[in-house]
């Protein structure tokens, strides 16, 4: 284990830190007229029909754990979770604002590493860091992210019709399964001392990656745009399939029937769940933290779209409200989701 240099923030000061960080990002670029360095960021207004705004707060010990989360991954992940809210409206992200509340356990080097992850995510999603705020926090590292985006075909949670196919991108349950692997390793690490052994994460690489560096689905938005296809409803699955499906049903005043066997699960996730002796359904239904998108399409549109975009499956259908929100299990039983 190599020990990283630890320069306390107070040594460089808040304005020194902001200067150091801002050098890593462009101050003027395309629609970013003036980034970090004045009272507010100045940008060109979106020329699209709608501007989209989303903001989220992440707290150490609640939303993330620094004992098993590399700061570079954390920076990437939080941008992914935030940008996913823009994709979930069928929009494209433009600008990011990052607020940091730093504890005295966070060094200059750690802050720079966090911003490296944020920078990678900005490149991956085509976003520009436009500004934010750096201050002190008392007990927990606190990170707030805001993204401004735009859309010409905004899709809401509502808009789905009875009979619409419920589609899900990617695969589910990996992030939650990865979290359990990391928590197990942390426990082992805590009980066996500091320099005991390298955590054996290789067989769990896929699920750990899903937990630490999830990637938001801009590819779906690009494909929909290329096909001029507008889903009847959309949301992301960061709260977990069960909760997000219930929210969509409520927003539409409809019910739904989904099929457990149809819900996409990666073989690596299934393997990891078996190794952990955990029920895979728990991860899939209640896991969340996955920036995958759930969208609904009229039945007749599904097949054509599938010829253009591969990474989604139909997991069920919207139904009348009276039907309720139900799942047919792999064994053929029907259970009500709530």
Contacting residues toward a second copy, per CB under 8 A: 33-34, 37-63, 84-86, 88-89, 91, 95, 97-101, 130-133, 135-140, 142, 144, 146-151, 154, 156-157, 234-236, 251
What is d(CA 168, CA 262) in angstroms, rounded to the nearest whole number? 10
Identity of the residue, 87 or 206, whose beta carbon is nearer to a second copy in the bound complex: 87
Task: Write the burial class of residue 310 (CB in 10 Å: 0-12 exposed, 13-18 middle, 19+ buried).
Answer: exposed
Residue with Cβ nearer a second copy (45 or 267): 45
Q: At a CB cut-off of 8 Å and minimum separation 6, what does 213 contact?
A: 73, 76, 77, 80
From 58, 46, 115, select the one nearest 86 (Cα to Cα).
46
The minimum distance between CB 47 and a second copy, in angstroms, equals: 7
Q: Which CB, 100 or 297, lies closer to a second copy?
A: 100
With b for 16 or more beta-carbon neighbours within 10 A and e for fewer, the 59-82 pattern comes to ebeebbebebeebbbbbbbbbbbb
Contact 194, 75 (CB under 8 A): no
Indicate the length of the chain as a whole number: 338
- As measured in angstroms, the least distance from the Cβ of 31 to a second copy is 9
In the complex, minimum distance from the CB of residue 252 to a second copy, in angstroms, rounded to a whole number: 12
> How many angstroms separate the CA atoms of 20 and 169, rounded?
38
Q: How far is the CB of 237 from a second copy (least distance, A)?
A: 11
Least CB distance from residue 205 to a second copy, whole Å? 29
Q: Which is nearer to a second copy, 248 or 280 (CB)?
A: 248
> Closer to a second copy at the Cβ: 101 or 207?
101
Between residues 39 and 277, which has the closer beta carbon with respect to a second copy?
39
Q: How far is the CB of 153 from a second copy (least distance, A)?
A: 12
- CA 287/CA 290 separation, integer angstroms: 8
Q: How far is the CB of 39 from a second copy (least distance, A)?
A: 4
* Other CB atoms within 10 Å distance of the CB of residue 243: 15
Rounded CA-CA distance 196/139 in Å is: 28
Distance in angstroms (rounded) separating the CA atoms of residues 126 and 123: 5
| Closer by beta carbon to a second copy, 248 or else 273 | 248
């Amino acid at each position: 284990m190599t020990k990283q240099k630890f320069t306390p923030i107070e040594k460089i000061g808040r304005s020194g830190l902001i200067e150091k960080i801002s050098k890593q990002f462009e101050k003027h670029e395309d629609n970013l007229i003036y980034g970090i360095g004045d009272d507010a960021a100045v940008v060109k207004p979106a020329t699209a029909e709608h501007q989209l705004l989303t903001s989220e707060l992440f707290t150490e010990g609640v939303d993330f754990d620094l004992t098993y989360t590399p700061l570079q991954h954390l920076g990437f992940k939080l941008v992914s979770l935030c940008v996913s809210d823009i994709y979930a409206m069928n929009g494209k992200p433009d600008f990011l604002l990052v607020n940091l509340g730093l504890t005295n356990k966070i060094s200059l080097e750690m802050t720079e590493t966090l911003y490296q992850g944020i920078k990678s995510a900005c490149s991956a999603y085509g976003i520009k860091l436009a500004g934010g705020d750096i201050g002190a926090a008392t007990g927990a590292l606190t990170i707030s992210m805001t993204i401004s985006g735009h859309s010409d075909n905004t899709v809401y949670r509502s808009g789905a019709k009875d009979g619409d196919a419920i589609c899900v991108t990617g695969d589910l349950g990996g992030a939650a399964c990865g979290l359990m692997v990391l928590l197990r390793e942390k426990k082992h690490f805590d009980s066996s001392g500091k320099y005991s052994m390298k955590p054996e994460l290789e067989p769990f690489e896929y699920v750990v990656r899903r937990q630490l560096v999830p990637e938001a689905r801009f590819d779906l938005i690009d494909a929909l745009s290329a096909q001029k296809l507008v889903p009847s409803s959309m949301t992301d699955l960061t709260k977990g399939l069960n909760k997000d499906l219930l929210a969509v049903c409520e927003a539409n005043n409809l019910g739904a029937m989904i099929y457990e066997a149809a819900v996409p699960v990666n073989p690596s996730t299934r393997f990891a769940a078996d190794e952990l002796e955990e029920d895979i359904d728990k991860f899939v239904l209640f896991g969340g933290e996955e920036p995958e998108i759930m969208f609904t399409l009229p039945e007749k549109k599904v097949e054509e779209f599938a010829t253009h975009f591969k990474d989604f499956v139909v997991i069920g259908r919207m139904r009348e409200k009276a039907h309720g929100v139900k799942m047919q299990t792999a064994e053929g039983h029907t259970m009500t989701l709530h």
